[in-house]
């Protein structure tokens, strides 16, 4: 990738830098993530291995609700990872911009369902994210599309129920089992998912404390302020289920998506996937383009399946 636009550089606590750049041959923006130039002597073998694992994981995650992986390359002892640019920023930024004004439940569920779809893709591949938080969920399409990103501490499991033992994650979103240094599986991501959903409903963290010890104590007891009554009963019940202290009592992400209350918000996102596939096919047969325009015009009420039959 030859960079011709240098927009900004963001220093993060992980010693990485994000640069917004554009490939010289294409007319679209990409976000170029790269690690600071580190000579081989200073970069431990463990750090190199961790970087390679992240690239491998990213290359396998191809889903509309996961930040797209474009490629990677090494230069002068530095690893560069090229990712899709999400122009809407992250969900934490969006929450802070509300200045106390709550999101509508429709908007909350719209984002939540997309996050769940991305997480299901990850879990289906037997991978734990391990750092789900509002700051790792990015927005595009005018803030309407949500994408899960930052797989810096993701871990692949040998099988779905295998238990990991490394204590990782962001304090506010840590599950009780991680706080207590107990083995954990994909249900720890479900707890963090609950934290994000609660945050979208209340604009604050579910578990807070004046010290790390107090925070951990609240997490392990599952004590949090009730969700406001303006939220529907179904939504409040869902949060209660996601915050079960015993991980076995928490639903899987697939189970969450099958709930009627959640399921009704899914169709438009799945239809978009179907439309995208359909349009890609039709673009290869240019003579059929006029049919797509005809059958998918606003207000036509024709589904992608009906278009296929007409083609």
Q: Which helix (H) or strand (E) holds 106?
A: helix 105-124
Distance in angstroms (rounded) separating the CA atoms of residues 268 and 304 = 12
> Which of the following is catalytic: 26, 90, 124, 131?
131
Reduced to 3 states, what is the DSSP secondary structure of residue 183?
coil
Q: Is 124 a catalytic residue?
A: no
Where in the chain does DSSP place strands (E)? 9-11, 16-21, 30-35, 69-75, 78-84, 127-128, 137-140, 145-148, 155-156
Contact 231, 105 (CB under 8 A): yes
User: Which region, left, alpha or beta, applies to residue 301 given φ > 0 means left and ψ of -120 to 50 means alpha?
Assistant: left
Residues 1, 71: contact at Cβ < 8 Å? yes
φ/ψ of 138, rounded to 5, equals -110, 150
Q: Which residue has the tokens 């200045």?
A: 99
Distance CA 189, CA 177 (A): 11
Task: Extract the tokens encoding 20.
Answer: 């917004």
Alpha-carbon torsion 145, 151, 155, 157, what sign?
Answer: positive
Provide the terminal-to-terminal Cα distance of the chain, rounded to the nearest Å. Answer: 39
Nearest residue to 54 (alpha-carbon basis) of 174, 155, 192, 159: 155
What value does the CA radius of gyration of the chain take, rounded to a whole number of Å? Answer: 21
Q: Which residues are catalytic?
A: 131
């Amino acid at each position: 990738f030859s960079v011709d636009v240098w927009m900004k550089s963001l220093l993060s606590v992980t010693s990485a830098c994000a640069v917004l750049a554009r490939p010289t041959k294409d007319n679209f923006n990409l976000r170029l993530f790269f690690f600071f130039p580190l000579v081989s002597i200073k970069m431990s073998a463990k750090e190199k291995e961790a970087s390679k694992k992240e690239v491998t994981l990213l290359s396998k995650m191809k889903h509309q609700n996961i930040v797209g992986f474009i490629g990677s390359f090494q230069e002068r002892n530095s690893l560069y990872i090229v990712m899709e640019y999400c122009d809407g920023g992250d969900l934490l930024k969006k929450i802070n911009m509300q200045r106390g004004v709550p999101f509508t439940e429709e908007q909350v569920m719209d984002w939540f369902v997309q996050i769940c779809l991305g997480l299901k893709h990850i879990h289906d591949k037997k991978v734990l994210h391990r750092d789900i938080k509002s700051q790792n969920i990015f927005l595009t399409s005018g803030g309407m599309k949500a994408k899960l990103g930052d797989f810096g501490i993701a871990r692949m499991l040998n099988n779905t129920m295998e238990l990991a033992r490394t204590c990782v994650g962001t304090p506010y979103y840590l599950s009780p089992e991680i706080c207590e240094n107990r083995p954990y599986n994909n249900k720890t991501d479900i707890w963090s998912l609950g934290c994000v959903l609660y945050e979208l409903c209340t604009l604050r963290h579910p578990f807070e404390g004046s010290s790390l010890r107090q925070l951990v104590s609240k997490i392990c007891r599952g004590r949090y302020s009730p969700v406001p009554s303006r939220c529907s009963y179904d939504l409040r019940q869902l949060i209660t289920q996601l915050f079960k202290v015993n991980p076995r009592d928490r639903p899987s992400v697939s189970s969450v998506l099958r709930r009627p209350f959640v399921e009704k918000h899914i169709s438009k996102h799945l239809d978009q996937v179907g439309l995208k596939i359909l349009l890609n096919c039709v673009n290869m047969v240019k003579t059929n383009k006029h049919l797509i325009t005809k059958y998918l015009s606003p207000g036509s009420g024709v589904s992608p399946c009906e278009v296929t039959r007409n083609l």
